[in-house]
Structure 1
Amino acid sequence: MTDVKRPVKLSCRNLWKVFGAGSEEFMRRNNGAASAQALGEARLIGAVRQASIDVHEGEIFIVMGLSGSGKSTLLRCLSRLIEPTYGEVNFDGRDLLKASDAELIEIRRHKMGMVFQHFALLPHLTVLENVGFPLSVQGVPKPEQKKRAQAVIDLVGLKGREHHYPRELSGGQQQRVGIARSLAVEPEIWFLDEPFSALDPLIRREMQSELMRLQGVLKKTIVFITHDFDEAIKLADRIAIMKDGEIIQIGAPEELVLNPATDYVAEFTRDVNRAKVMSAQSLMRASAAGGQHAGKVDAKAKVETFAADIVGANLPFAVTDGKGRLLGEVTPQAVIDLLAGRHVKQAQP
């Protein structure tokens, strides 16, 4: 889970993207506040409405929602690929909406990486040339281009395919090229807009694992768009759920499942496998005096990682913090109830 003490890398405040004639004047006249009814009466469409988020350095922040919820539009506003209608966007404490076109180009070239659902590889260039392309745009000398491109090609597991063309690669390999290309510029923040949604399920899971491996090495600040909650809970430090252009709730996956803020969030998370999301800490109870423990688990460990062991042992497991201190215990029955869909949250010690 993300340490909230980390610096905020990217943020937005009361961000709006409204489509339609006179949208900017309408938002100014209404001081950055408008109801859905008011927008409709003005024949305007609020694709993003009053969005406010903080993305901390080194976290994977996932924005999710159904098709048309505004999640991709929000990402494009955060990177200024499209112009917000109203609000603030701050990157490293700097208001991006006040940056000139030349300044924005430099920020995108040197500090932002972007990966989209469609790979957009250049078919006439090899893997090495595709990956090195953004470096050539930066004016990086050719020897340095090749060196940096080769390094990220190796990093994403494509060593030996440097001289292949996109048509000679599988879908997963093409997406790896797209990822390598975006990493070649050594970005400070990485925007990924449904990068795996066009892939077959097996390749998609492979790429999710690859992303987690890369994140373990690179510690990037990532804004990731998806409509798949299983993908979100596998990858996210925190998740923002959007509906009709608004952010409904922000929290860690476990928070959203255990404490949904609205009926919509509850319905959105209803079919989630709780064992994948819930931690030992959320399921534990106070330790019984003099009780036996068949083993121990970290408080942050997901239930699915120890469910088989605790049920097989038929004895409670001790729950400990990062320093090995006893916090409580998880019982086999609590795990069985969770797996059977009968979970009742245990009282905390």
Structure 2
Amino acid sequence: MTSTTAPQQAPPDEGRGTRLGSGLWSSPWVVPIAAVLGWFVGLLPWIVRRSRQGTFGTPWNPRNDLRDALLPFHHQLLPMLVVVTVVAGLLAGSAPWCSTSRRSRRLVLAALTTLGALLAAGWSVVQTLSPDPDLGGSGTTAAQVRVAFVAVTVAGALLGLVLGLTVSLGGAAVRAAASAPAAVFIADWLGQLVLGSLGSPGPTWLPTLLAALAGAGVGLALVGAARAHLLARVAAWVGSLVLLVVTASALTAVRYVLEALRGTPIRGDALSELIVDGLRVMGASLQTTLTAWGPPPASPLTAVVVAATVGAVGTLLAARRADRADRADRAPDDSTRTTA
């Protein structure tokens, strides 16, 4: 009797894991390079606008030329400075996505991402201030104005970096919650990029479209959170939908504070009063948004509706696909038992 032995096959995931874990994308040093590139991509709305608009004079120096500056250090462009630095930090913080070993080297990749983002942000600040531009103020207040621009840049970059690291290295539920404020800033960033390219005012349907895109992105993140535990899924759904509205109102309040900051003396009591007014603006914006169901609904509510719809439909389809896969896996075992 001749016996034949079936050739042994390697597990299906073994070769794939070896391929994914080797090569350029397994090296952690690709991450800081990607972080630097992500930072400069985040500055695109300002780069496009400066190339179209030309010089940006100030009341103190009308001939001040910022066409070569990497950052919009201008008293009328403070809201843009916040948005571009947050999104630049967000894109830099998302650099670990390009590494195939991001699940096993989270701390290393987070440190290298931070290093790349800090280098890019520091270079941008130095490049913007190196021509010694007249940003406003006189005497000692001139230095305070410079510090204020740098402080806004640092705050925006750190916020974006934290969001990017959370989205790229966090768990499924945490990633879904962090995707909401990230989507709001990216939608605003896209709007400024479009307006910088086409000129303002833009099309009336642009805010609704951007809100729908932001909601779709959050909805896809909620689909990914379906693998988490029930409590984590509930927290991700509630947190992301609430943050879609709260972040939009917070961004409105930040714009108010930054625009009012231009005529506010640099004193502690004046700044604290301005912050209190900003919180009031945020509360009023929340109240207005929650009652503006349209038609069409307010942009944050549009984002919430789209996120909930995409998340629910995607989760249902993913559950059905998983159920069909389970039944297909059980079918050979059932047929074997029936033959026996």
What TM bracket, shorter-length normalisation? under 0.3
Larger helix percent: 2
Larger strand percent: 1
Taking structure 1 as the reference length, the TM-score comes to: 0.25
Taking structure 2 as the reference length, the TM-score comes to: 0.26
Larger radius of gyration, structure 1 or 2?
2
